[in-house]
Structure 1
Amino acid sequence: MATTLITSTTTTIQLNDHLNFPDAGVLSKVIWKDAVCQSSLFCLAEGTEISEHTATRNATVQVIAGSGTLTLEGKPIALEPGVFVFMAANAPHALAAATNLAFLLTLASDC
């Protein structure tokens, strides 16, 4: 099991305390992981792009800071703090960070 920010002795964290934006690219940290779901904090540097791909699991994205565009099944979604997105398993998606961008990605094996 990967090291996680939430453990059996810590049940809460302040996500803003863990925002670390790289000079370029993507930095991710696993918040919680078990057999059913995984939540990870992603911090993307301004200008970072993630090319179109799919995931075999349902996923949600919750934007914490910054701005960008998520292209989900060919449709652009403006990302800004407070935006919540559901992505069905195998849905093609891509991402572009207009500014430093932070979001919580949760993958679920059963929904």
Structure 2
Amino acid sequence: MTTIASSNASFKTPWKALIEYPSAGVLSKVILQDKCCQYTLFCLAKSTEISEHTSTRNATVNVIEGRGILTLEGEDIVLEPGVFVFMPANAPHALKAEENLAFLLTLSENPQVS
């Protein structure tokens, strides 16, 4: 997997330099990955749908631009700039982009609490 930034050096860039929308579907770019987290920029074309699925890792969604609907455990959440969502591991979720939609998805380890 190719990443944009190295996990052992500081990195900064404006979102506008990284965001690009496909004519249809999803374009994703791994920004940075280390032992604990993976930071991926997702760019979805208007009307793109991602069917219900789960992840074995905890996840956060930070919406940068656009608008969509995230269905998380049966609840519809409006995604628009500035919205932050936490999804625990194994939570069923689906997504529909109502407009071109860009967000940062962060996957993190799900430590088992004893």
TM-score range, shorter chain: over 0.9
Aligned to 1:100: 100
**Deviation readout 1:57-98 (Å, 9 max, x if unpaired):** 000000001000000000000000000000000000000000
**Deviation readout 1:27-61 (Å, 9 max, x if unpaired):** 00000011211000000000000000000000000
* Secondary structure in 2 matching 1:17: helix
Q: C-alpha distance in 1, partners of 2:96/2:110? A: 28
* Secondary structure in 1 matching 2:107: strand
Aligned to 1:44: 44
Question: Please, which runs of 5 or more residues in structure 2 have no aligned partner?
Answer: none
Equivalences for residues 1-111 of structure 1 within 5 A: 2-7=1-6, 8=8, 11-110=11-110
Is the Cα–Cα contact under 8 Å of residues 52 and 92 in structure 1 kept in the other structure? yes
Q: Say which is worse superposed, 14-23 or 38-47, in terms of deviation.
A: 14-23
Is the Cα–Cα contact under 8 Å of residues 31 and 41 in structure 1 kept in the other structure? yes
Identity level (%) = 61
Deviation at 1:10, TM superposition (A): 5.2
* Secondary structure in 2 matching 1:89: coil
Tell me how large the CA RMSD over aligned residues is. Answer: 1.2
What TM-score comes out, normalization by structure 2 length? 0.92
Q: C-alpha distance in 1, partners of 2:27/2:10? A: 22
* Secondary structure in 1 matching 2:63: strand
What TM-score comes out, normalization by structure 1 length? 0.94
Q: Say which is worse superposed, 2-11 or 95-104, in terms of deviation.
A: 2-11
Is the Cα–Cα contact under 8 Å of residues 36 and 110 in structure 1 kept in the other structure? no
Q: Aligned pair count?
A: 110
Question: Please, which runs of 5 or more residues in structure 1 have no aligned partner?
Answer: none
Matched to 1:90, the amino acid is N
